[in-house]
Structure 1
Amino acid sequence: MSHRVRFATALLLVLPALAALAEAPPAARHVEPNTLVPKGVVHYAPTGFPDRIVAVPMQDASTGFSVSWRTDAAVDAPALEIVVAKDSPDQWDGDTPPRQVKAATRRLATANGVAHHHQASIDGLRPGTLYAWRVQGDRTWSPWRHLRTAAPVGTPLEFLYVGDTQNKNASLTTRVMFEAVRRAPNANLVLFAGDLVSEAVDDDEWGEWFDATAPLATMAFAPAPGNHEFFEEHEDTPQERRVLGEQWKAHFALPANGAEGVEPTTYWFDYQGIRFAVIDGTSALDLDAASTQAAWLDGVLADNPNRWSMVLIHQPFHSPRGEERNKRHQVLRDELMPVMERHGVDLVLQGHDHLYGRRGSEGGVPPVYVVSVAGPKQYLVSDDARATMSPVGEDTQLFQVLRLEGNRLSYEARTATGRLYDAFALIDEGDAGKRIEERTEGRIGERECGRSQTLGGRTDRCWE
């Protein structure tokens, strides 16, 4: 049989199958589960090997940082080892071993089993220095990691700001983190605007959040708490109240300089010429802590020796979602906004509304208020926001790269594929104050949701 005959015979056999495939209805799409862990599977059980390792800046980020990590209950009060990073694999300094710091340990029981969470603070470090460090487990150590302390004021700085991650972190947030590292290879600091997870005490979600943010392992993390870091105790009863999940306190050894009554979720630190203040919007709105935080913030900003200041908060002062959300957030504008504007805060970095929106202050001077989202849950922009914010954006996962060099603080918002979505710079002109300089070159147009409803049938969102 010739090749042509064999080919024709095979084609006659295949054509009916191809025709049937073409006529078959498309496969139905379903809402993706919130985690990739199948029901009944235990994937994130603690073991003797250290995991969920994360560093956060100390109050003076040039001289220290704190580290948290998790093991199983067999490990109690382990050590952290740290040394100035070397080109050689030998981590000893001659006959001197790496410095050891003992950790404090707390027990936490979750659906994945009993874990021990450890925290150690390392001070007395040299500014602008790359350190190698590792943490101890059960008869084992983590791999060595690198972290650079904040450099002296005036040294160029690159860092990241990330909006809500919250949902489907392992599946869809991970790609944003990889792209962020590609676009900001010199970043040593990342700010998270809250709602890291969807359920405050869901240990699988926390496990996936640490997996998703693993590409940022050489950076210090500075998170703000979101409403989803809290849970409802006594829900649907007269005693219902917001309670901070224990995972938050176990996972982050934050500076102990917060506002009275909300110490675990408010803090400030200085990093290379910028004072960062982190506010707990949930406690301000739901636990009557707005005035307390306003007084605290007033003191933090009044005592700021730096040329620059930023506030990180979950709930936005101006919501891209619409008037109802803005009414709910009125207490933030009444109590906290006057403090920020009186002290000339430069940027207010926010999350909560799963959209993008930027709004300036009257007169074209700072503060600049930004709302962004990194995770896949996507809302719809209100008509009011379209009239008062520019740019705005729907159906877009984003991350932000900020760079401080000399008197110029530049800001870029980029999509999950790296495209430039928004860009501007704040220029410090000394006695003349600071001005905003727009950058339009290379920016893509405003993105809008092209769906009439989500896969789950919701018409008030773009994606869920």
Structure 2
Amino acid sequence: MTSRPMVLAAGALFALLATVPALALDAQREPEPNTLVPAGDARYRPGAFPDRIVATPAQDAATGFSVAWRTNASVKTPVLEIVVAGDSPDMGEPRRLQATTQALRTENGVAHQHRVDVDGLSPDTLYAWRVQGAGIWWSPWRQLRTAAGPDTPLTLLYFGDTQNKNASLTTRVAREALRHAPDARLALYAGDLVSGGDGEDDNEWGEWFDAAQPMVSGMLVAPAPGNHEYFEEYEDTPRERRVLGAHWPVSFALPRNGASGAEQTSYWFDFQGVRVVVLDGTSALDLGTARAQARWLDGLLAANPRDWSVVLIHQPMFSPRQDRDNELLREHVLPVLERHRVDLVLQGHDHVYGRRAGLVEGQGTPQYVVSVTGAKQYRLSDEARRTMDPVAEDTQLFQVVRIDGDTLRYEARTATGQLYDAFELQSGGDADRRIVEHVDGRIDQRDCRRAATLKGRTDRCWE
């Protein structure tokens, strides 16, 4: 791809000179805390009123979805009510579904996490639904439209890592994304939703739900787990191992159809014309499930009745950050992606932007994308600058994907809505895809202009 020139000496000199005022300004600034919650504040203590409400796709998103929410421990047997949405406030007698409940103990006390799986719905139908808290306390009615037929146009959103300073700096990206894609029906998150491990995990999850409110209040959400959804048990000892954090299994009501060994963190679903498969890269790399996930993925893609395929995973096949190499993913997962010509492989982890095509030169698919939504910003490797185009540092982004018949349109936009990357995949009715780059309207390549972060780290641009 030649849509934008790679970094030249003159550009590097300009970037170096531009660091001078930035450094002078940075010397007068203090690093921002990871959350906006003052120490000891009970902002996110669970209460009688239901919160952290999020709906996720069922395996067949045309006939069902699942809902998770939170209350305090006094709420033991809440229900979900659902009815076909109508224009009158009297929408008729709702169907009532009993939740299953699990306790979660955090720094904010004991919460009860609830889940309901809603099935038997009609395709392409707008439903109103609400969830119960304590007694007469209910959430507001929300509305979701079930997936339509495979030939119906679909708009979805894709977000890279949010992770840090969610309430402060991720919120604006979510709102901008919805402004550019008000018709979006699905939001994909590529993992590391929170940072974790600093004693305020529940506050971070509270801020993620606040930041994601534009998404979770009106569409289905499908997250991939990142390495920060895990923690290190027995850290710095011979027994050290990755353990899935307690929030992940109860914060989302995900489909129970995952790969062997990664049942809680991998899953798949069909939504209109696309099959979406979510992998757990951390489990693959650190817990020995790479081979099992690859076999599982191979079967799902071989049996895919949909025209399009999207794979969501946290760790990239080709890392654009210096000194990262996910060899096990390339050994086991990459051949499956290439063999089945997956259309989009959506990734995170490296806190920069980069896109490249697959291993077969001249072939439009797969398209491998790494993006970042949150505040933490790394630096590109020299190899990424040689092999990926476009690339970006120091940029918060969101992505809009529109699928309509034989065309998939992809756009990456910055936090202020500027177009950074755009292309189309066009199908001729078979597995071959033709890629058409759209360069008009794209802003210039963005590179980090700081020598170090406010904390003095030279391997990052911002934190």
Question: What's the TM-score bracket when you normalise by the shorter of the two chains?
Answer: over 0.9
Structure 1 unaligned residues grouped into runs of 5+: 1-24
Counterpart of 1:333 in 2: which secondary structure?
helix
Matching of residue 156 in structure 1 with residue 139 in structure 2: no
Matching of residue 369 in structure 1 with residue 365 in structure 2: no
For 2:229 and 2:157, locate their aligned partners in 1 and report how far apart those are by CA, in whole Å.
21
Question: Which of structures 1 and 2 has the bigger CA Rg?
Answer: 1
Contact 2:81 2:95 in 1 (8 A): yes
Structure 1 residues 333 and 39, CA gap change in structure 2 (3 angstroms): same
Which residue of the partner structure matches residue 271 of structure 1? 271
Query: What does residue range 36-435 of structure 1 map to in structure 2 within 5 Å?
Result: 36-92=36-92, 97-139=93-135, 140-199=137-196, 202-216=201-215, 217-322=217-322, 324-326=323-325, 329-361=326-358, 362=360, 363-431=362-430, 433-435=432-434
For 2:462 and 2:26, locate their aligned partners in 1 and report how far apart those are by CA, in whole Å.
20
Deviations 1:114-139 (A, max 9, x none): 00000000001111111110000002
For 1:42 and 1:91, locate their aligned partners in 2 and report how far apart those are by CA, in whole Å.
37
Cα deviation, residue 91, structure 1:
2.4
For 1:265 and 1:377, locate their aligned partners in 2 and report how far apart those are by CA, in whole Å.
24
Aligned-residue Cα RMSD (Å) equals 1.2
For 1:57 and 1:347, locate their aligned partners in 2 and report how far apart those are by CA, in whole Å.
19
Q: Amino acid of the residue matched to residue 342 of structure 1?
A: R
For 1:303 and 1:76, locate their aligned partners in 2 and report how far apart those are by CA, in whole Å.
41
Counterpart of 1:259 in 2: which secondary structure?
coil
Cα deviation, residue 297, structure 1:
0.6
* Higher RCO, 1 vs 2 (CA within 8 Å, ≥6 residues apart): 2
Structure 1 residues 440 and 76, CA gap change in structure 2 (3 angstroms): same
Which residue of the partner structure matches residue 16 of structure 2? none
For 1:227 and 1:379, locate their aligned partners in 2 and report how far apart those are by CA, in whole Å.
16
Deviations 1:31-60 (A, max 9, x none): 100000011111100001000000000000
For 1:106 and 1:221, locate their aligned partners in 2 and report how far apart those are by CA, in whole Å.
21
Counterpart of 2:319 in 1: which secondary structure?
coil
Which residue of the partner structure matches residue 6 of structure 1? none
Contact 2:159 2:371 in 1 (8 A): yes
Identity %: 65
For 2:303 and 2:256, locate their aligned partners in 1 and report how far apart those are by CA, in whole Å.
17
Structure 1 length normalisation: TM-score?
0.92
Counterpart of 2:355 in 1: which secondary structure?
strand
Counterpart of 1:435 in 2: which secondary structure?
strand
Deviations 1:314-366 (A, max 9, x none): 000001113x212xx01101100111111111110000000000010222320
Cα deviation, residue 26, structure 1:
9.9
Counterpart of 1:430 in 2: which secondary structure?
coil
Q: Amino acid of the residue matched to residue 311 of structure 1?
A: V
Cα deviation, residue 236, structure 1:
1.1
Deviations 1:234-277 (A, max 9, x none): 11111111000110001011101000111000000000110100
Structure 1 residues 26 and 83, CA gap change in structure 2 (3 angstroms): closer
For 2:31 and 2:143, locate their aligned partners in 1 and report how far apart those are by CA, in whole Å.
38
Contact 2:189 2:222 in 1 (8 A): yes
Runs of 4 or more consecutive aligned structure 1 residues displaced over 3 Å after TM superposition: none
Cα deviation, residue 27, structure 1:
8.6
Q: Could you tell which deviates more after superposition, 357-366 or 225-234?
A: 357-366
Structure 2 length normalisation: TM-score?
0.92
Q: Amino acid of the residue matched to residue 159 of structure 2?
A: V
For 1:430 and 1:107, locate their aligned partners in 2 and report how far apart those are by CA, in whole Å.
50
Contact 2:341 2:431 in 1 (8 A): no
Contact 2:27 2:454 in 1 (8 A): no
Q: Amino acid of the residue matched to residue 433 of structure 2?
A: K
For 2:455 and 2:90, locate their aligned partners in 1 and report how far apart those are by CA, in whole Å.
55
For 1:215 and 1:278, locate their aligned partners in 2 and report how far apart those are by CA, in whole Å.
22
For 1:440 and 1:253, locate their aligned partners in 2 and report how far apart those are by CA, in whole Å.
39
Q: Amino acid of the residue matched to residue 144 of structure 1?
A: W
Q: Amino acid of the residue matched to residue 103 of structure 1?
A: A
For 1:338 and 1:144, locate their aligned partners in 2 and report how far apart those are by CA, in whole Å.
45
Cα deviation, residue 158, structure 1:
0.5
For 1:27 and 1:332, locate their aligned partners in 2 and report how far apart those are by CA, in whole Å.
41
Q: Amino acid of the residue matched to residue 103 of structure 2?
A: R
Structure 1 residues 26 and 271, CA gap change in structure 2 (3 angstroms): closer
Q: Amino acid of the residue matched to residue 108 of structure 2?
A: N
Deviations 1:285-316 (A, max 9, x none): 00111001011111111111011111000000
Which residue of the partner structure matches residue 452 of structure 1? 451
Cα deviation, residue 28, structure 1:
2.8
Deviations 1:79-132 (A, max 9, x none): 00001111111121xxxx100111000001100010000000000111111111
What is the count of residue pairs matched by the alignment?
A: 433
Cα deviation, residue 431, structure 1:
3.8
For 1:84 and 1:233, locate their aligned partners in 2 and report how far apart those are by CA, in whole Å.
46
Which residue of the partner structure matches residue 28 of structure 1? 28
For 1:337 and 1:311, locate their aligned partners in 2 and report how far apart those are by CA, in whole Å.
11
For 2:430 and 2:158, locate their aligned partners in 1 and report how far apart those are by CA, in whole Å.
29
Cα deviation, residue 432, structure 1:
7.1
